[in-house]
């Protein structure tokens, strides 16, 4: 029971981090219809910028400044890159963001090298918040949860309660009308892209010390983010939230409990072939749940696509 609680917290941290990335991606996608393949790269940039800033000004200034820099960079990419490619169609847009992801990884390697950066959690948060039956929960995890939730609530508030949010939502569905009413729609697009990438930047800043700040960090998370928004349903913010938490918990729990395929198959009435190492099915028998934890989201995605192609919360086929 106690272990379940610990895993619930761990899964929540992973899920909320994933949600920060997929929220930005979903926002950008539903706005402009373009999937930002380089989204996880902005997450990586967030971590690296914050590390560099923290060397001089400390962690908290990094948390403040790095997302802003990432957001400005993202807005620049939209203004000078994506807007130009837009005229060729959606597939070249995707290819452009893919190329951008490659380029950002190379640039990061160029500037910071290939090794992991010594980006650490701030000292003020290096204590145990509380412990559950001997399992200590670091304060930083609680901090991550609160930051993520605060940002989500803030985003929701801005989108649904403020004037700017109203214009953004209107521009989502009726860009022509909003433009005719005198609003600068391209500027809104640029702003949304900037905010989306800034969100990814925040995720990078707070995840960097825990998950490691290295050139492959975008690659590790990149495809999982896409899987998340496919499972949640393209363009649905709530779907992204549910899918992120689902993925966070599924992977955490399958890593924590060592379920063995052998036990499952035996209980279903199959007999184990002997000797096992000669059998063509040996891999099926030897699989354990921690082994497949990382590919469970992909399996989930394929299943979702077969049985519910528009995702959990999606209304349309995109």
Partner 1 sequence: MTDQLTTDTTKPAQRMRTGSMALPLIPWVLAAALLMVLPFIFTANSAITIMNQMAITIIFALAYNMLLGQGGMLSFGHAVYAGVGGFACVHIMNMDDFFAQIPLPLLPVFGGLMGMGLATIVGAFSTRKAGTVFAMISLGVGELIAACSVIIVAFFGGEEGISGDRTYGMPFFGVEFLQQIEVYYLIAVWLLISAALMYLYSRTPLGRMANAVRDNPERAEFLGYSARWVRFFSFVASGFFAGVAGALFAINYEILTEENLNTTQSGLILLATFLGGVGFFFGPILGAIVFTLVQTVLSLQTELWGFYLGIVFVVTVMFFPGGLAGLIMMHVPAMRLGKLNRLGVPYLKTLGSGALGCLGAAALIEMTFHARHASTGDHEMTIYWTTFDSHTVLPWILATAVTLIGFGVARATAPALAEAWGEANTPDGATR
Stretch touching partner 1 by CB under 8 A, among 10-18, 64-72, 110-118, 268-276 = 110-118
CA torsion sign for 122, 128, 129, 135 is: positive
Stretch touching partner 1 by CB under 8 A, among 128-136, 179-187, 192-200, 223-231 = 223-231
CA torsion sign for 88, 89, 94, 95 is: negative
Minimum separation from the CB atom of position 134 to partner 1 (A) = 32
Cβ atoms of 15 and 24 within 8 Å: the answer is: no
How many residues touch partner 1 (CB under 8 A)?
A: 47
* Range 114-143, binding partner 1 (CB under 8 A): none
Stretch touching partner 1 by CB under 8 A, among 6-14, 166-174, 201-209, 218-226 = 218-226
Q: What does the per-residue mask of binding to partner 1 show for 252-281, with x meaning CB under 8 A?
A: ----------------------------xx
Question: DSSP label at 130?
Answer: E
Cβ atoms of 233 and 257 within 8 Å: the answer is: no
Minimum separation from the CB atom of position 282 to partner 1 (A) = 6
**Does residue 227 touch partner 1 according to CB under 8 A?**
yes
| Smaller CB separation from partner 1, 183 or 282 | 282
Kindly give the residue spans of alpha helices, DSSP state H, lying in the chain: 2-32, 39-57, 59-77, 83-85, 90-112, 139-161, 163-173, 175-180, 185-211, 217-232, 237-256, 261-267, 282-286, 289-292, 296-307
**Does residue 317 touch partner 1 according to CB under 8 A?**
yes
Cα gap 18→26, rounded to integer Å: 12
Q: What are phi and psi of 76, to 5 degrees?
A: -65, -40
Q: What are phi and psi of 316, to 5 degrees?
A: -130, 170
What is 271-289 written as a DSSP string? PPPSSGGGSTTHHHHH-BH
Minimum separation from the CB atom of position 162 to partner 1 (A) = 29
Minimum separation from the CB atom of position 297 to partner 1 (A) = 8
| Smaller CB separation from partner 1, 56 or 110 | 110
HSE, CB side, 13 Å, CA atoms: give it for residue 141.
18
Q: Is 206 buried (19+), middle (13-18) or exposed (0-12) by CB count in 10 A? A: buried
Among 69, 107, 125, 211, contact with partner 1 (rule: CB under 8 A)? 107
Stretch touching partner 1 by CB under 8 A, among 11-19, 92-100, 193-201, 240-248 = 92-100
Beta bridge partners of 288: 260
Among 5, 55, 61, 92, contact with partner 1 (rule: CB under 8 A)? 92
Q: Which positions touch partner 1 (CB under 8 A)?
A: 33, 35, 81, 84-85, 88, 90-92, 94-96, 98-100, 102-103, 106-107, 109-111, 113, 219, 223, 226-227, 230, 234, 280-283, 287, 291-292, 294-295, 298-299, 301-302, 305-306, 309, 317-318
């Amino acid at each position: 029971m106690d272990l379940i609680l610990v895993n619930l917290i761990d899964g929540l941290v992973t899920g909320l981090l994933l949600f920060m990335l997929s929220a930005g991606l979903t926002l950008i996608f539903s706005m402009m219809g373009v999937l930002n393949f380089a989204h996880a790269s902005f997450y990586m940039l967030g971590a690296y910028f914050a590390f560099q800033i923290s060397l001089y000004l400390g962690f908290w200034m990094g948390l403040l400044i790095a997302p802003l820099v990432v957001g400005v960079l993202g807005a620049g990419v939209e203004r000078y890159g994506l807007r130009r490619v837009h005229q060729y169609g959606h597939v070249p847009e995707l290819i452009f963001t893919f190329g951008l992801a490659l380029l950002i990884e190379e640039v990061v390697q160029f500037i910071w090298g290939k090794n992991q950066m010594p980006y650490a959690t701030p000292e003020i948060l290096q204590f145990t918040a509380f412990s559950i039956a001997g399992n200590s929960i670091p304060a930083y995890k609680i901090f991550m949860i609160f930051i993520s939730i605060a940002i989500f609530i803030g985003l929701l508030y801005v989108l649904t309660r403020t004037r700017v949010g109203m214009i953004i939502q209107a521009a989502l569905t009726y860009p022509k009308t909003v433009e005719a009413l005198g609003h600068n729609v391209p500027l809104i697009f640029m702003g949304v892209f900037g905010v989306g990438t800034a969100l990814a930047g925040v995720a990078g800043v707070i995840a960097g010390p825990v998950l490691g700040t290295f050139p492959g960090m975008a690659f590790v998370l990149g495809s999982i983010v896409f899987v998340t928004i496919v499972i949640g349903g393209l363009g649905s913010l709530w779907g992204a939230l549910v899918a992120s938490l689902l993925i966070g918990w599924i992977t955490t729990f399958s890593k924590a409990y060592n379920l063995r395929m052998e036990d499952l198959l035996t209980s279903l009435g199959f007999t184990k072939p002997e000797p096992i190492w000669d059998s063509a099915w040996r891999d099926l028998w030897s699989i354990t749940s921690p082994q497949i934890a990382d590919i469970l989201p992909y399996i989930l995605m394929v299943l979702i696509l077969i049985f519910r192609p528009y995702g959990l919360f999606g209304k349309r086929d995109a």
